[in-house]
Amino acid sequence: MFEFAKYHGAGNDFIMIEDLDARLVLEPATVAALCDRRFGVGADGVIRVTRAQDADFYMDYRNADGTADRMCGNGIRCVGKLVHDRGLTHNTELTVGTPDGVKHLTLRLEAGRVTAVTVDMGLPAFERSAVPMRGPADETFLMQPVEAGGRLFTGTALYMGNPHLVLFLDEDPAGVPVVSIGSELELDELFPERTNVEFVRVHAARIDARVWERGVGETMACGTGACGIVAAANEVGLCAPKAEVHFPGGVLEVERSAQGPVFLTGPAECVFEGRVEENELVRRGTA
């Protein structure tokens, strides 16, 4: 049995587990069972928070299908809220280690509680080798044709903590079949590690978006996706370095600094806390 808390950032929800002594081993089957929205708690992913040698804390993130991932922008903001609200730190500036490196967080407080967090998400990378994407290693994939679901899109690929393919639309993303097209492109042979897919319409400093996350499906928002969207749109001249990304679950603020790093700001909220019997959970989820 272990305790957990349910958090979300703009509707992108996570099962948070405080494991400061790093005693818990999360098996893929346990993660998938926890994230199951009928037989489990229900979430887009699981985050295990531990101590770190080179940072204040460490974020071990798993997608809803149980696979590990390198970075989660909304999830790391929830980590910032959890450790501060639980009194594990009183600092409003802290560092969190991830497989994508150490990230710096700035916590925004109201009445002593965290309401929003800004994260330095690092540099975007557009070379195919960095995404990773098949093709000449030093070439980029900017505003190129992408065919899926019997339709032709214009897309830009980049690495922003994990792989992203941003599709620029002339229409409202609300009318696009994200599930069928996103699931097809996630597994496209061009992306050896699969990819997240963003469907976006740019209106100057406002961007409307929906996202298909690899290993999860469509989510209400995506932090690395929001950063990838603004970085990609700015790179090809479609928006300024600072923009608001409007997802179905809420708004995320993104700024690509003159020095290169991308900063993500958005809400983080605790929904409820509970405890779960691991063996019973997995048994029900696989019955």
Beta bridge partners of residue 144, listed in sequence order? 155
Q: What would you measure as the largest C-alpha separation in the chain, in angstroms?
A: 53
Q: How many CB atoms lie within 10 A of CB 61?
A: 21
- The angle formed by the CA atoms of residues 203, 209 and 213, to the nearest 5 degrees, is 155
The answer to whether residue 72 is catalytic is yes
For the record, the structure tokens of 147 come out as 């065919």
pLDDT of 281 reads: 60
Per-residue pLDDT at 68 exceeds 80: yes
Tens of pLDDT, residues 21-34:
999 988 999 999 99
- Indicate which residue of 35, 222, 227, 239 is catalytic: 222
Tens of pLDDT, residues 229-267:
999 999 999 999 999 999 999 999 999 999 889 999 999
One-character DSSP codes across 95-126? EEEETTEEEEEEEEEETTEEEEEEEE----B-
pLDDT of 204 reads: 86
As a whole number of angstroms, the distance between CA 211 and CA 231 comes to: 15
Cβ contacts of residue 102 below 8 Å, gap of 6+?
A: 54, 55, 95, 96
- Computed over every residue of the chain, the mean pLDDT equals 95
Per-residue pLDDT at 75 exceeds 70: yes
Residue 287 pLDDT class (50, 70, 90 cuts)? very low
The answer to whether residue 35 is catalytic is no
For the record, the structure tokens of 134 come out as 């098949």
pLDDT of 278 reads: 67
- Indicate which residue of 72, 78, 227, 239 is catalytic: 72
Tens of pLDDT, residues 119-133:
999 999 999 999 999
pLDDT of 211 reads: 98
Tens of pLDDT, residues 16-64:
999 999 999 889 999 999 999 999 999 999 999 999 999 999 999 999 9
pLDDT of 286 reads: 46
Mean pLDDT of 157-176: 97
Beta bridge partners of residue 82, listed in sequence order? none
pTM of the model: 0.95
Residue 223, helix vs strand vs coil: helix
Mean pLDDT of 153-167: 98
User: Hey, what domains does the chain have and what are their CATH numbers?
Assistant: 2-120+268-286 (3.10.310.10), 144-260 (3.10.310.10)
> Higher-confidence residue: 1 or 190?
190
